[in-house]
Structure formats: C-alpha cells, structure tokens
Amino acid sequence: MERERKYFGTDGVRGRVGEGPITAEFVLKLGWAAGRVLASRRGRGSVVIGKDTRISGYLFESALQAGLSSAGVDIKLLGPMPTPAIAYLTRTLHAQAGIVISASHNPYYDNGIKFFSGNGTKLPDDVELAIEDELDKPLHTVDSALLGKAERVVDAAGRYIEFCKATIPYGVELRGMKIVVDCAHGATYHVAPSVLRELGADVVKTGVDPNGLNINKNCGSTHPETMQRLVVENGAQLGIALDGDGDRVIMVDEKGELVDGDEILFIIAQARRNAGNLHGGVVGTLMSNLGLEVALKRLDLVLHRAKVGDRYVMEMLQQNGWKLGGESSGHVLCLDKTTTGDGIVTALQVLAAMVESGRSLNELKRGMEKYPQVLLNVRTEQKFDFNASHVVQEAVKEAERRLSDQGRILLRASGTEPLIRVMVEGADEALVNSTAEALADAVRRAYASQSS
C-alpha cells in the first residue's frame, strides 16, 4: 500500500503564499531537508534553483538557498527560467537535483516547490518520502567550513535556447512565417521569442512584461483570447500561448481557431508516424477527447488513457516504453526530445510538421475531428468526497442513462486547485451541455449540504 504523503502532492508542494505550507519558514526547512537527503545519498554535490516571475519567487529562492546551504549543499541559481529549462540544466550541469519555484498556470498569489532528479525527471517516490521524514526533524546547521556555496549561472538562457533549437531537424527554418507568441508574463518571456526569431520567424510577442503580479493574468495558455485576436490582426500563420512556467502550450491556427493539447498531440503523432519515428502507441488521459482516439486509430496507433496529471502520463509512457503522450491542457511529453513537458519544444515539433508537410496548422488539425466536450469546475474550499455523496452518485447514474453508449462522463478532484472537475463528452452537443450542467448542479448542491 502506497504511503500517504504529508506535504508532496502530484506536482510538488503548492499553495497560497503565506499559508502553510507555502511559507518562508517551511520552504527554508524544505531546502534543508532536501539537502540532507541528497547529501546522504551522493555526497555534497550541487542543486540548481530556478523560478518563474511571480513576486514571491524572490522570497522562496532565498529561503531554499539558506536551507540547502545549512545542509552543506552547493547551489546554482538560474533566476527566472521555464520549468523544462530547469530540468534540462539540471542534467547538463550534472547537479544532484533541480528545484523549481512555480505554481505553473495559477495566479501570482500562489506558489509551489517541485523537484527534478539529476537526470531531469521527477524525483522518485522514495526520495520524496525521505525528504518528508527529514522535515519532521529539528533543523541543525553543518559546521561553518562545510556550508554550501551559491553561484549564479549567467548563461542559463543561452544554453536552453540552443537546446530548444536543436530539437527540430537541421535545415528546418521558419523564414517567411509570422508567429504570435504569448509568454503569459511568465518564465519564457526572455526565451521563447528568441528561439523563434533565431529560427527565422517574424515574431509578434505579447505577455513579455512581467511585474511579479501579472503572471497568467488574462493571458497565456489559460486565456488565449488576446493571442487569437493578434493572430488575425497581424495576418500571422499561427499563435503560441505558453503558461507561466512554460511546460504547457496551446496554439492558434491562421484562422484564429484554438488548437488544444489533444490536437497538438495528434499533429505530432501523425508527423512521427509518417516519418517512421513513432512505434507503439500514444498516452493520453481520462480527459483526452474521444476524437483523438478515433484519429489515432486511423493511423494504426493505439491510445492508452492515464489518470489526469503529467506524472501519470509519464508513468504509463515508461511502463510501455513509448515516447509520446500528453494532456488536453497542452502539457505534452516528447520523450524522444526531452525528459519533461516543454511548451516551446512541443510548439517546435508542430512547426516542423508544418514546414516538412507544407500544410497550414488548420489543415493539419483537421485530421482529427473533436467530439463535443464540456468541462465545468465546481469550487470546493473544503475537502469534499463526491464519491461518497448519494446525490452525486444518483446524478451520475442518470447522466449515464441519458448518454447511453454515445458518450463519456468523468468527475475528478483537481490536483492543483480546490475544484471538482465535471467532464461530459458525446456525439450530441445539446445533450452533452445539459448533462454537464445537471451534474455540476448536483455537485454544488451536495457540497453546499456538507458545508452547511
């Protein structure tokens, strides 16, 4: 039986700044605990720290640095860098681990701490559990002569830019292509435009003026409306919207129509399949559109569905020995190119498919026909087990009866926000909409009854 974690969730430790566990005191202790575990396993070594652009990053960078130093571990500071860049630099700088200070697509008042192992993948479970064990012990500092030292990596952005460019075939250029890129006022603001420009594109950039408070605010992959407008106004071939830490991407075609993670996954899978570079199958999630499954089947590719969360997509890919997977949200794993979800690298794979096929993004995405799908969020500030609710379970049975075998229903708790997500998918759009509303209403009523 898997041991329950006290602090670590599916994606590190995350919460509202100033509220446990996202406090300066806890993060200092977390740095110390991580340092203790890493030093006990591989000697002194070093840990790289990177962050996104939210204002609390300064606070937690300093706290982590103090904690690691007190445990006798050296620190390499990357400054604002995309999460996948930190994974990459952890590997190439031969660090014991990488630490990311970010709450991804969440607002500025949230933050989080997540770790990468020395090979740029998520920390093994036994290391996370060992860190949790250390957190329960009193903090003590190593002898002054053994304290960790810190240095800033001044060429971090340049290293990562070159890595991104190298993930598409040599000779694939973007000359003559106008691209809108929305960096969500986040960690890619000084990287993504440079990657595209150096590959020859004419770049229209937005969301590149972070002030610590505007990360993800009405921009980026969760709010692509500005990018859609800019693509049409500028006559661009496409738009690329990244989230605050750069591990997700949503795209827009030349008509201003959204291209989500499922469609991006299909386009990359089709290009890999046509080139003979994709073997086995593709991993999606329980939220992946049924249209993706149907389109992949036409390519003689199987889709396996993992639980929602890139952690579970990664686990299923590794179990099957496959290389390509992702989520509808735009978190795509191209394990033949890098070790984690990377919005810039993912977008480049789509751009390479466009250049090599001579087809527009709209033409490429039309190979997959999406089924009507509705996702509604019900906010729950307190813990709520909807599976134990008679009201919710009766509503689910009624919804399944209405849809029969022409659709899917999924209720799940978000792993990153206090939400219950209600998803309904099927061939009849009107039926899908009414069913989703009825289910969400049942969840709201059941939660209100518990809270009163």
Q: Give the side-chain half-sphere CA count within 13 A for 286.
A: 16
- Give the C-alpha distances (Å, rounded to integers) separating 371 from 337, 407, 425: 30, 9, 7
Strands 110-117 vs 97-101: parallel, antiparallel or unpaired: antiparallel
Decide if 343 contacts 248 (C-beta within 8 A): yes
Calpha distance 29→47 (Å, rounded): 15
Burial environment of residue 136 by CB neighbours within 10 A (0 to 12, 13 to 18, 19 or more): exposed
Residues taking part in catalysis = 104
State the Cα–Cα distance between residues 306 and 327, nearest whole angstrom: 10
| Helix, strand and coil percent figures for the chain, each rounded to 5 | 40, 20, 40
Query: Residue 202 belongs to what H/E stretch?
Result: strand 202-206
Three-state DSSP class for residue 426: strand
Closest CA to 289 of 352, 216, 375, 364: 375
Residues 6+ apart with CB under 8 A from 144: none
> What residues contact 274, with CB distance under 8 A and at least 6 apart?
none
d(C-alpha 438, C-alpha 399), whole Å: 8
Euclidean distance between CA atoms 4 and 363, whole angstroms: 47
